[in-house]
Structures are given as structure tokens and as C-alpha cells.
Chains A and B, each alone.
Chain A
């Protein structure tokens, strides 16, 4: 039982507690209720006395609330303490509450009454809700956010963190963040931690390693907060790996450009045509041979140009501005040290939106070295040309001399020979048998023969020299026909001789008709000459087609020669037989050799002493071998 005095004391004690405090009897009727009921429930606590808990709650908080509360209260009436949370619309506001029903037992263990305590937990509840809500938002955040206990392990890990680092929340929570991410700080870790704890904030660039071993660069913000009695680090990171890469590439490109421009050979500028202002890289001044900062207006770009180059330059400028033609021209400037420098300017016009010329953007190059090289090349070419002209002149002079020499040889050298021979002959004719005996006559005949021989030598030499001097024509030549004519002539000159002659019909060659006739005549007359002592002389002219092309041959069964001397066969004046044995000057094969060579072909021989000889020759690429199948000619 509670007497009135005790009740008054209880009132005082409980009045200012921000909770509902009440006491009921063992049938659930209020015996006491504190002042807080007035504010929370809008009821005078005094009026509650004697009414049941159920009545008051239904009246003030509604049927639903009572249904939620009633089982716990009835359990308390039966002697079991109850603690639960509930929520509802109280008189002043909506409340989350924690309710304690504690049975009051008498010494016999009988329930005497129930103590009711209702504590407002709305703020705590809402704070929890807010946290959940924020967590949801953080999970939606695009950027990795996670929390970790300062000096301890990760407590929260959002979805973006999962995506960036590859670790799931389950894998990350409970791990030490800098171990998990192999964090590389821009400063010693101790320094980093003391700065964070002192300023409770840190921002900087960190390098993390992801689960698959990739290194990422993040712009990181750390905030140190106190939460639930712990120092918690809120870490929010922004992945800037790509940005850093782009920046590095950009830096690289800038460096390279700088290096290219850096040697002072390329200057870039932009001229504003309305204001005349010139924006230029510093080296443009240098290129123009001017002190730094000299070029201010675009008119200045023309100041130090050599006077003789100004007109051409002006023409290009006006053309570029008037017609929008890309400007490109070369000109000279002083180099500021008394010398000159060649510059090349290239520029392009941009127009204002209304179509008027607005800006000229250009680049200026130092092309001095290039110009010098060009000039040297021109000089060299000119020198070379002069030298060629000189040499050609010398050659022509030498040729003229050779020709006049040949002329002198043919004309003047032969005249005395003719005299020797002629007067020898006359001596023989007029005085033989009278004043000159047989021996003297023999001497005279030898003299005559020698003179005639020398005359032939001179003729042959002239022929040889003429082969080198004359131009080789390219015509279709009937070699079979030439061979037939020549053999006919040889038979006619020595009617007493017998020989089997085989000439392959229809052999057409491409070359100089006169020279080829001369070559063939020489080879055939050689064959004729050296087979002269054979009982059954055989002479053959023909051709075989080989991989090298067509090979012509002249074959005889005459005396032949020792192959050991084949090397000197085609040298002028070189004979393999004594003069007395076979006639000839030793120039014939040299002549053939030269003719064949001038046609781009080659000549060689096969022989053996007493085994006859075969001379082979080709006529080079020009010989198309278009034979006459009819064998006409």
C-alpha cells in the first residue's frame, strides 16, 4: 500500500523524469502515474488513479497499441518482467519507446502490483534509421568509400570499392585497409597518421593495388570521426589512374614538342589581324635575330627581312589574307651578328564568324642549313656540269685529233709506201736482167712485199679504229646472206680451191649491218685461210640457241691452234702462226672482237693444233633473233 505521503514523495521524484513511470495494483489499476503522462498522453495523472492500464492506453493510444502491449503487461501481472519496444502516436509526437513492466512481489511471492516504465527511444531509433539510409546512399555512390577503425580494421566497404579493388565486402571487412590494398603513401606512414589524427582530415594521392594486381592511383579523402566510442576513418577515393596516364602522355607529348621547338628551329605565332597583336613563342625573336620581346605586332614579323625579299613576302601575305590561300614562303633575315639566316614561314588564315580575316596562325622555321645544302648542291651540279662540258670538249678534241691522225695515216703514211712499192716495181720492170741481177731483183721484191704489207696493216688498223669511232646502228641483218656472199667472193678469188661449205639458212640478227658484215668476213676468211692446207676443207656457219641466248659459230677443219694461246687470240697484231705461213696482219680477230663487244656480245674460240677451230660469238641483248623461216636472202 502506498500512503498519501509516500505518493507525494514519489510524485516529486518522478515528476521531472523524461519517461512515463506508473504503478498499478495486481489487477492492473493505476495507483500512481507521474507528471510526464500529462505531456506525453495529454491526461491528468490524478485522473488515472483507479482506472485500468488497458482503459487508459486504448483511450489515449488506441486499440492497436494496446494489442501490442497487452500480452507483456498481463505476463507482468502473472509475475514475469517484460521489456519491449513499441511505437505510436502520443499526444505530443510520434514516439519510439522502450517499455519495462516489472512485477512488484510481496514476501510470499505473490504479485502485489506492476511498475511501468516507458522510455522514449525515438532519437536513437531515428539515428539508426538515418545510418541505414546513409549506408544505402553510400552503396549507390560512384566512388569507393570505406571506413576503418583508426589503427584497426575495415568496418564498411561500399559497392564502388568492391568494383574498383575487386574485393567483396565480406573479403574486405575485418582486414587492415593498408595491408589489403598495399597502400603506398606519398609520405612515411607515421607522418600520415599523425597528420590525420591532428587535423582529423587528410587529402592526397595514394597508390593501391587491386585484387588482380593492378595498381590504381586515387585521389583520397580521409576523415577521422568519433563513432560509438571509436575513432573511425571515413575514406573516400576517386580513381584517377586514367587521368594520371593521360597527364603523363600529355607531358610526354609536350616534352617532345618542346624538344622539337627547343632547338630554336621552329617558332610558332598567331597574329590578330584586327588588333595587329602578335602572340609568339619566345624563339621567334631569336629566329628573326632580334632581342627577346622585340616582336609585338605582326607587322614586326616583316621588319628584319632582307629588302630584296620583302616584295615577294608582301605578295604572299596579301594573297593569304585576301584569298585565304595558305601562306608559304622563304626569305632571309639578319641573324643579329652580321650574317644571314633563311627562314620559311607557313601560316593559315582563320576568319571571324562574319567572314572577315581574323587571325593568321603560323610557324617559322630556320631553313638556313637546308638552303646552304641546296646552294652547295647547285654549285656542285654547276661545277660538275662545267667539268662534263670541259671533259666532253676534251674528248671531242681528242676524237678530232684521232680522226685527223687517222686521216694522216691513211693519206700521208701510205704515200711513201706507194712510192717504195711503185718505184721498186718500176726498177724491176725497167732494169731487170740488165743492171739488176736475180739477187737484186729478189731484194726489190721483198721490199715491195713489205711495203704492200705495211699498207694493209695501216688499212686494218684504220678499220679497227673506225669500229670504236663509229656509231653502232641497230637493224635487222641477214647473216646467212652475208656469209653466202663472202664465201662466194673467197671462191672467186681462189678458183682453184675446193671446200665443203655449210651455211645455216635464214639466220637474222639485230645489229649494225656494216660491222656485222666486217666481222663475218673476217671470221670466214680466217676459216678459209687456215683450212687452205686441208685435203678436204670444211667450213660451216650456223647458230645454236642456248640459255645465254643465240650463239653463232664459224667452224673449220684447218690447222687450228694451241688453246694455251687462246687468251691472246683477240689482241691486235698477235699472231699464232708465222707471217710466211699464213697471210694476214693479226688485226682481223681483234676487229671481230671489238665489233662483237660493241654489240654487247662476247666471242670465244675452241680449237686444238691440227683439229680445226670454232669461233663462237653472241650479239648481246639487242639480238632478237627474228629468223627468216623461208631462209631467203
Chain B
């Protein structure tokens, strides 16, 4: 079975560390690629590597999470990749906008680590398993 890759777009190193640990604790044994700003994220997806799921913060240096999401959905080779917004924002508007831009999920980062851990664990498991399902699921979106 092909080794799965999660792209984590996160400028906060603490959050990065916690996210990575939660994913690992949840049993995710694939690759976790980390980029620190929006521009890097866009460059990464346009490169020769492919992510199975993208965890995307909204407030990012250079390009915002929304702009990254738009770029992902606008670029044919990446438009089918599941994108999960993982953000500290509690603004209703941010969530609405994310779904408008075709994010697959929206998760508010809880302060409570245990909650955080639970959410990220399930997320890693779900989205990586999702990508093992037949490709017709994503083809149907094209």
C-alpha cells in the first residue's frame, strides 16, 4: 500500500508539534509535510509531490488559508484533494467562507489539548482512509 502524505500548513510551531503528535498518537504512520506560509503551500501543491489530505490554517503569512484553498481547487491535479480547515478562528463567517470555497471540513482548534487530540486523530484516520476508497468518488466531483 502506498505511503500516505498529509500536508500541514501551519505557521505556529507549537500547533504544528501538537498536530503532528496527535496524528502520530492516532496511529497515522504516513508522511507529514509541513509548510509555514500560504505561498509555500501553493508552491508545494504545484510541485511534483501529491498530498492525500491538506490540513490548512486560515491566518497564514503571505497568502491566507482561503487563497491557498482557492489555488488547490483551481488547479486540476489537486482539486480533488480533501482539505480540512484547522483554525483558531471561532468566527462564523470564516466557516461559511471556507465551505463556500469547497473545503471538506472545518475544525476549530480547541484550547483543551485532549479535545484537540481527539479531533485531529479522527481526522487523520478518516481522511487517509477516505483516499483508499475507489477513485470514482472523486471523479464524480470533476
- B74 neighbours in A (Cβ, 8 Å): none
Number of A-B contacts (CB under 8 A): 62
Additional 20 contacts, C-beta under 8 A, given A418-B109, A459-B90: A407-B89, A410-B88, A410-B90, A410-B91, A411-B58, A411-B87, A412-B59, A415-B12, A417-B111, A418-B18, A418-B113, A419-B14, A422-B14, A422-B116, A423-B14, A424-B113, A426-B18, A426-B113, A452-B111, A455-B112
The answer, yes or no, to whether B29 is at the interface (CB within 8 Å) is no
6 pairs from A and B in contact (CB 8 Å cutoff): A410-B91, A411-B88, A414-B111, A421-B111, A425-B114, A451-B111
Cβ-defined contact, A421 with B59, below 8 A: no
In B1-56, which residues have CB < 8 Å from any A CB?
12, 14-15, 18, 21
Chain A proximity of B113: nearest CB distance (Å): 4
Question: A419 CA to B113 CA in the complex, in Å?
Answer: 9
Cβ-defined contact, A415 with B88, below 8 A: yes
- A456 neighbours in B (Cβ, 8 Å): 111
Contact code string B107-139 (vs A, CB < 8 Å = 1, else 0): 001111110100000000000000000000000
The answer, yes or no, to whether A467 is at the interface (CB within 8 Å) is no
Question: A451 CA to B115 CA in the complex, in Å?
Answer: 14
Which A residues are within 8 Å of any B CB, using their own CB?
Answer: 406-407, 410-412, 414-419, 421-426, 448, 451-452, 454-456, 459, 462
Contact code string B79-91 (vs A, CB < 8 Å = 1, else 0): 0000000011111
- B59 neighbours in A (Cβ, 8 Å): 411-412
Residue of A407, A410, A422, A459 touching B18 (CB-CB under 8 A): A422
Cβ-defined contact, B89 with A411, below 8 A: yes
Cβ-defined contact, B88 with A412, below 8 A: yes
Question: A425 CA to B17 CA in the complex, in Å?
Answer: 13
Cβ-defined contact, B14 with A415, below 8 A: yes
- A424 neighbours in B (Cβ, 8 Å): 113
Chain A proximity of B138: nearest CB distance (Å): 31
Cβ-defined contact, A418 with B116, below 8 A: yes
Question: A441 CA to B21 CA in the complex, in Å?
Answer: 21
Chain B proximity of A465: nearest CB distance (Å): 11
Chain B proximity of A106: nearest CB distance (Å): 165
Known contacts A425-B113, A455-B112; decide if A418 and B14 are in contact (CB<8 Å). Answer: yes
Question: A419 CA to B114 CA in the complex, in Å?
Answer: 12
Cβ-defined contact, B111 with A418, below 8 A: yes
Residue of A nearest to B19 (CB): A422
Residue of A nearest to B88 (CB): A411
Question: A407 CA to B114 CA in the complex, in Å?
Answer: 24
Chain A proximity of B97: nearest CB distance (Å): 13
Cβ-defined contact, A407 with B91, below 8 A: yes
Q: Which one of B12, B15, B87, B112 has the highest number of Cβ atoms from chain A below 10 Å of its Cβ?
A: B112
Chain A proximity of B91: nearest CB distance (Å): 6
Known contacts A415-B15, A422-B14; decide if A455 and B90 are in contact (CB<8 Å). Answer: no
- B90 neighbours in A (Cβ, 8 Å): 410, 459, 462
Residue of A410, A414, A426, A462 touching B21 (CB-CB under 8 A): A426
Chain B proximity of A459: nearest CB distance (Å): 6
Question: A451 CA to B18 CA in the complex, in Å?
Answer: 16
Cβ-defined contact, B88 with A414, below 8 A: yes
Q: Which one of A407, A411, A412 has the highest number of Cβ atoms from chain B below 10 Å of its Cβ?
A: A411
Question: A390 CA to B111 CA in the complex, in Å?
Answer: 40
Question: A452 CA to B114 CA in the complex, in Å?
Answer: 11
Contact code string B91-103 (vs A, CB < 8 Å = 1, else 0): 1000000000000
Q: Which one of A412, A416, A418 has the highest number of Cβ atoms from chain B below 10 Å of its Cβ?
A: A418
- B114 neighbours in A (Cβ, 8 Å): 425
8 tightest A-B CB contacts, nearest first: A455-B111, A419-B14, A422-B113, A425-B113, A411-B88, A422-B18, A410-B90, A417-B111
